[in-house]
Amino acid sequence: MRRREFIGLRLSESESDLTLSEKRFCRQRCDMWCFDSASPWTCLLSARRREFITLVGGMAAWPLVAQAQQPERMRRIGVLHGPAADDPDIKARDAAFEQELRRLGWTSGGNVQIDLRWGAGDADRVRKYAAELVMLAPDVIATSGAGPVSALMQATTSVPIVFVLAADPVGAGFVDSLARPGRNATGFTSLEYSFGGKWLELLKEIAPNVTRAAVIRDPTDSAGIGLFSAIQSAASSAHVELTAVNVRDVGAMDRAIGAFARGQNGGLILTASAVAFVHRDAIVAQAARHKLPAVYFARPFVTAGGLASYGVDTVNQYRRAAGYVDRILKGEKPADLPVQAPTKYELVINLKTARILGLTVPPTVLARADEVLE
């Protein structure tokens, strides 16, 4: 008598292994179903064989099912900021970034880990943390500003990078072209150089008596140089004399603004740079101390007490960056994702500061404003 046994299931080809109840069950139905007078147990034995084959076939599929049910690996996103961790605007950017990632199906601590680093306005710290993030082997790194982007691209040519607030990514060498980045980085520009002329126009609208303007810039940033050139082009027709003030050193900047303020009918224009953003409280305080009307490149300067700003909605930029991060996590390459221009700008006016300076903001400017702070 031959038998096969598999993890407790016994399959027999002999009727002697059938129980009494199984034999009775088969006897009652054999005439109708089996039509085999020589072997009245054929129907039940065949049923047992089918059960065995089904079980073996199911167990063969178990490894495939187990493989399909294995959880997806945790993905990793690095984020490098130039400013400090406690900066309110940076917190708002991070919140918008993570919110958009959640909407796209990526949850921090769930299926994705987000590693944050902050340079606190220190170029050496930015380079250190850029190298540190690359060593963590993330799937993609998000960052903003020319300094952090440059540090990351020096640290890696393979880890995908999504940048925001980069004024001239082609001129800075981050991408080959806006349409076809061609490298491991892509993202979103901050503004065109023509914005420099718009800042000067806004300053003259709010403070028409201004005939001299100090342009605060970062001399190491190609965007600062380009924006200063754009302001120079508009200065002659606006009858405004320009003075360049570098922000590489805060102490030197304070002294330069103080010396500039000794003259009459002066105003300030702050061009976009990570250094200026980090030191915005000091710059706004200097403008207030010397009663200089000033136009800034971003809203946080105005919420800190500055007069007016016109520039890119930085929080919206981070929402858009999350969309590119999502596409890269799903397999797309940064070299194939075109660099995009901003889609949302904002004009913000601080009426309290205007009153302190003795200025009346024209109704036409207020009508254009996206936000007016009382």
Tens-digit pLDDT profile for residues 238-282: 999 999 888 777 788 888 899 999 999 999 999 987 778 888 999
Closest CA to 167 of 149, 191, 151: 191
Where b means 16+ CB within 10 Å and e means fewer, 15-48 reads eeebeeebeeebeeebeeebeeeeebbbbbbeeb
pLDDT for residue 48 is more than 60? no
Does residue 204 have a pLDDT over 50? yes
Say what the pLDDT of residue 211 is. Answer: 97
Q: Where are the domains of the chain?
A: 3-69, 75-191+315-336, 195-313+344-373
Separation of alpha carbons 254 and 240, rounded Å? 22
Least confident stretch, 27-41, 178-192, 226-240, 297-311: 27-41
Comparing 217 with 12, which gets the higher pLDDT?
217
Is a pLDDT exceeding 60 seen at residue 54?
no
Question: Using CB atoms within 10 A of its CB, is residue 314 exposed (0-12), middle (13-18) or buried (19+)?
Answer: buried
71 Cβ partners below 8 Å, 6+ apart? none
Q: Do the strands 345-350 and 308-312 form a parallel or antiparallel pair, or are they unpaired?
A: antiparallel
Looking at residue 32, what is its pLDDT? 41
Q: For residue 36, what pLDDT is reported?
A: 44
Retrieve residue 292's tokens: 């200089």
DSSP, collapsed to helix, strand or coil, labels residue 122 as: coil
Q: Are 167 and 189 in contact (CB under 8 A)?
A: yes
In 10 A of CB 335, how many CB atoms? 15
Torsion of CA 124, 89, 201, 146, to 10 degrees: 30
pLDDT, mean over the chain: 85
Name which residue leads in pLDDT, 50 or 74.
74
Give the H/E segment covering residue 78.
Answer: strand 75-81
Average pLDDT over residues 314-321: 96
- Please compute the mean of the pLDDT values over residues 111-130 and round it to a whole number: 95
Can you tell me the mean pLDDT for 190-199?
Answer: 89
Strands 161-166 and 140-144: parallel
Tell me what percent of the residues of the chain surpass a pLDDT of 90. Answer: 65
Q: How many residues does the chain have?
A: 374
- The angle at the Cα of 206, spanning 204 to 208, to the nearest 5 degrees, equals 45
pLDDT confidence of residue 88: 92
Domain at 195-313+344-373: CATH code:
3.40.50.2300
- At residue 168, does pLDDT exceed 80? yes
Residue partners of 86: CB distance under 8 A and separation at least 6: none
Do the beta carbons of residue 138 and residue 77 sit within 8 Å?
yes
**pLDDT at 63 exceeding the cut of 60:** no
Q: Indicate if 195-313+344-373 has the same CATH topology as 75-191+315-336.
A: yes
* % of the chain exceeding 70 in pLDDT: 81
The letter for the amino acid at 199 is W
Q: What is the pLDDT of residue 12?
A: 42
Do the bridges between strand 112-118 and strand 75-81 make them parallel or antiparallel, or are there none, so unpaired?
parallel
Q: How confident is the model at residue 17 (pLDDT cuts 50, 70, 90)?
A: low
Both structure tokens of 206: 């709010």
pLDDT at 322: 98
pLDDT at 302 exceeding the cut of 70: yes
Residue 291 burial by Cβ neighbours in a 10 Å radius (0-12, 13-18, 19+): exposed
Nearest to 240, CA basis, from 170, 293, 190, 187: 293
- Separation in Å, CA 152 to CA 77, 113, 123, 142, 250: 14, 19, 12, 10, 25
Q: Which amino acid does the sequence have at 281?
A: D
- Predicted local confidence at residue 219, as pLDDT: 78
**CATH class for domain 75-191+315-336?**
alpha beta
pLDDT at position 295: 98
361, pLDDT greater than 90: yes
Does residue 28 carry a pLDDT above 70?
no
pLDDT over 90 at 139, yes or no: yes
State the pLDDT confidence band at 53, using cuts at 50, 70 and 90: low
Tell me the pLDDT tens digit for each residue of 329-355.
999 999 999 999 999 999 999 999 999
Query: What is the arithmetic mean of pLDDT over 174-184?
Result: 97
Of the candidate ranges 48-57, 250-259, 319-328, 355-364, the one whose mean pLDDT is the lowest: 48-57
The whole-number pLDDT of residue 217 equals: 87
Q: Are 231 and 261 in contact (CB under 8 A)?
A: no
For residues 88 and 104, the answer to whether their CB atoms sit within 8 Å is no
Distance CA 190, CA 168 (A): 8
Burial class (CB in 10 A: 0-12, 13-18, 19+), 276: buried
Average pLDDT over residues 199-227: 90
181 has a pLDDT exceeding 90: yes
H-helix segments, 73-119: 88-103
Per the listing, tokens 């099912």 go with 65
Query: What is the band of 9 on the pLDDT scale with cuts at 50, 70, 90?
Result: very low
pLDDT of residue 281: 92
